[in-house]
């Protein structure tokens, strides 16, 4: 089963990731092979994703589970497991992977194909890294049944570290995503009029992002004095603020930014609140550079927050961005999303991408938030989509 298709490509010349870095990560933990099964990691390692299963994986009575197998130190033995429908795509766009198996339908069949490939490579008793959070029980059980002497470990640390530093191609995609999200947010805000519902605004934002070639993911929206950010029948009225916080994808990479607007002129209080948010955002950017410890970002932002009038009503967060939200570098273990602060005491590297966000909840006034995309460079930082960060004034 494992030798179904030979792509015929020079895998060394066409791989979309740093195999030497992956080899070093696997070798350091004595892992023989890694098998990626999540949508984001299969996309990253293969270079693209299934055209048929881009938006779903449930089909019939089971689900599609793709797999990309990489053997430590032996990229020429890599293999990809796909659905029968993927064969057309792989014929039109041959992947770099030397061995491709496009014959599976069910999760158990995917596991059987993976096991067959590993056995052919002499790894039936090896240490195999799996994405435990991204394999169904049927896949895991079938793989264990076919490889009773193998040892299974968690693949997440290796694949996350591999993706942490973005290539120039990835950075270009992330720049586009950020710029188009901001443009979509501004266009949506400027279309507003007194009485428009937040649900209608989110529907408009969806259309704006899709017109710009993005895949709309979500929009959190708040208006007036409410802190509720779910799209609803709540209405944007004259004199009220509006917060739009949206995520959209470009070629699988996620942009996530937030901007503010007001129908009419902002009050002095609204200006003051947004100025405080900007002060924290600026403080967070200040220490960013290659070699800075991740924790320095929080130290600078929180020190600034401590001296502000509304500091106790303000929340600061910084997290990595890429194929998923809140990926490496992870800087805190006390944020809204629970995970270890792996990069709090580690140096940042040029090419890492951060989402930096500050939100302020002022009782009786409203929700004020700015979220930016910032890239670590050799000497500092660069912001993507860094427009419209003040009060976007809508005449209505």
pLDDT in tens, the chain (396 residues): 554 444 444 444 578 999 999 999 999 999 999 999 999 999 999 999 999 999 899 999 999 999 999 999 999 999 999 999 999 999 999 999 999 999 999 999 999 999 999 999 999 999 999 999 999 999 999 999 999 999 999 999 999 999 999 999 999 999 999 999 999 999 999 999 999 999 999 999 999 999 999 999 999 999 999 999 999 999 999 999 999 999 999 999 999 999 999 999 999 999 999 999 999 999 999 999 999 999 999 999 999 999 999 999 999 999 999 999 999 999 999 998 999 999 999 999 999 999 999 999 999 999 999 999 999 999 999 999 999 999 999 997
Residues 389 and 299 in one domain: yes
Q: Of 148, 163, 178, at which residue does a domain stop?
A: 163
Q: List the one residue out of 321, 322, 318 whose CA is nearest residue 333.
A: 318
Residues 120 and 77 in one domain: yes
Please report which residue ranges of the chain form alpha helices under DSSP H. Answer: 11-14, 19-28, 39-46, 86-92, 107-120, 137-146, 156-163, 168-190, 198-211, 268-285, 295-306
CATH code where residue 356 lies? 3.90.230.10
Give me the pLDDT at residue 14, please.
78
Residues 219 and 136 in one domain: no
Q: Of 163, 193, 216, at which residue does a domain stop?
A: 163
For 383, the domain range is: 168-394
**Phi first, then psi: what are they for 374, rounded to 5°?**
-130, 135
Residues 131 and 185 in one domain: no
**CA–CA gap between residue 345 and residue 348 (Å, rounded):** 9
Cβ count near 273 (within 10 Å): 26
CATH code where residue 132 lies? 3.40.350.10
Residues 108 and 172 in one domain: no
Residues 99 and 182 in one domain: no
Residues 159 and 173 in one domain: no
Residues 20 and 107 in one domain: yes
DSSP string, 64-110: ---EEEEETTEEEEEEEEEETTHHHHHHHS--S-SEEEEEE-SHHHH
Residues 177 and 152 in one domain: no
CB 107 within 8 A of CB 139: yes
Give me the pLDDT at residue 4, please.
47
Residues 57 and 153 in one domain: yes
Q: Of 163, 179, 198, at which residue does a domain stop?
A: 163
Residues 299 and 190 in one domain: yes
Residues 60 and 136 in one domain: yes
pTM of the model: 0.94
Give me the pLDDT at residue 2, please.
57
- Total number of domains in the chain: 2
């Amino acid at each position: 089963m494992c030798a179904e298709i030979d792509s015929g490509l020079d895998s060394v010349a066409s791989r979309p990731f740093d195999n030497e870095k992956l080899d070093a990560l696997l070798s350091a933990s004595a892992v023989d092979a890694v098998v990626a099964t999540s949508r984001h990691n299969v996309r990253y390692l293969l270079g693209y994703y299934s055209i048929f299963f881009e938006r779903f994986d449930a089909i019939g009575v089971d689900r599609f589970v793709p797999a990309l197998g990489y053997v430590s130190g032996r990229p020429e033995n890599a293999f990809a497991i796909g659905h029968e429908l993927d064969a057309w795509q792989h014929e039109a766009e041959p992947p770099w992977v030397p061995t491709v198996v496009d014959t599976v339908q069910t999760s158990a069949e995917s596991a059987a194909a993976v096991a067959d490939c590993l056995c052919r490579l002499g790894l039936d008793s090896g240490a195999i890294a799996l994405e435990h959070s991204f394999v169904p029980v049927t896949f895991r059980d079938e793989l264990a049944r076919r490889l009773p002497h193998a040892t299974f470990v968690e693949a997440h640390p290796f694949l996350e570290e591999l993706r942490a530093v973005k290539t120039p191609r990835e950075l270009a995609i992330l720049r586009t995503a950020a710029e188009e999200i901001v443009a979509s947010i501004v266009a949506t805000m400027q279309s507003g009029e007194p009485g428009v519902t937040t649900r209608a605004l989110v529907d408009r934002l969806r259309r704006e992002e899709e017109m710009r070639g993005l895949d709309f993911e979500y929009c959190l929206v708040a208006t007036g004095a409410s802190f509720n950010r779910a799209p609803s029948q709540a209405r944007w009225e004259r004199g009220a603020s509006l917060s739009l916080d949206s995520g959209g994808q470009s070629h699988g990479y996620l942009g996530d930014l937030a901007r503010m607007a007001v129908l009419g002129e902002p009050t002095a209080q609204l200006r003051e609140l947004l100025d405080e948010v900007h002060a924290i955002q600026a403080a967070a950017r200040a220490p960013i550079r290659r070699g800075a410890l991740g924790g320095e970002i929080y130290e600078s932002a929180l020190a600034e927050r401590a001296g502000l009038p509304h500091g106790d009503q303000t929340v600061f967060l910084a997290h990595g961005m890429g194929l998923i939200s809140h990926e490496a570098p992870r800087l805190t273990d006390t944020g809204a999303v629970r995970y270890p602060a792996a990069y709090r005491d580690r140096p940042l590297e040029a090419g890492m991408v951060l989402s930096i966000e500050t939100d302020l909840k002022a009782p009786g006034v409203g929700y004020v938030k700015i979220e930016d995309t910032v890239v670590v460079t050799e000497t500092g930082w660069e912001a993507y989509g860094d427009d419209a960060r003040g009060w976007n004034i809508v005449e209505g």
